[in-house]
């Protein structure tokens, strides 16, 4: 169970960092961000998460806000995984969680 929780937490962290990286690079690159190779890489990496957020969110959410919805959903998944990992580690003993 601990391994599963750690995998979920790690995947959420990777996706969160990709979303933040895409956002920062979009700010820095401006209108030419679609021509940036790293921005395109972040788009490929975050596309499944953003599509999932689009499926979960209601239709009234604008398409430009879907990445924010994806970020918030991933943040709550990461938070739940972190709290679950802490709970498991407290129950089995912290020395066994390393």
pTM value is: 0.88
Q: Where are the domains of the chain?
A: 2-96
Check pLDDT > 90 for residue 79: yes
pLDDT tens, 14-33?
A: 999 999 999 999 999 889 99
Distance of alpha carbon 89 from alpha carbon 49, whole angstroms: 28
**Orientation of helix 37-56 relative to helix 2-29, angle to 10°:** 120
pLDDT tens, 39-77?
A: 999 999 999 999 999 999 999 999 999 999 999 999 999
């Amino acid at each position: 169970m601990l391994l599963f929780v750690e995998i979920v937490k790690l995947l959420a962290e990777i996706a969160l960092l990709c979303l933040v990286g895409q956002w920062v690079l979009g700010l820095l690159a401006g209108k030419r961000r679609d021509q940036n190779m790293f921005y395109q890489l972040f788009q490929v990496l975050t596309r499944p998460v953003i599509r999932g957020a689009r499926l979960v969110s209601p239709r009234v959410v604008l398409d430009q806000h879907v990445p924010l919805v994806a970020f918030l959903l991933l943040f709550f998944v990461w938070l739940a995984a972190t709290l679950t990992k802490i709970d498991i580690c407290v129950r089995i003993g912290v020395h066994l969680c390393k």
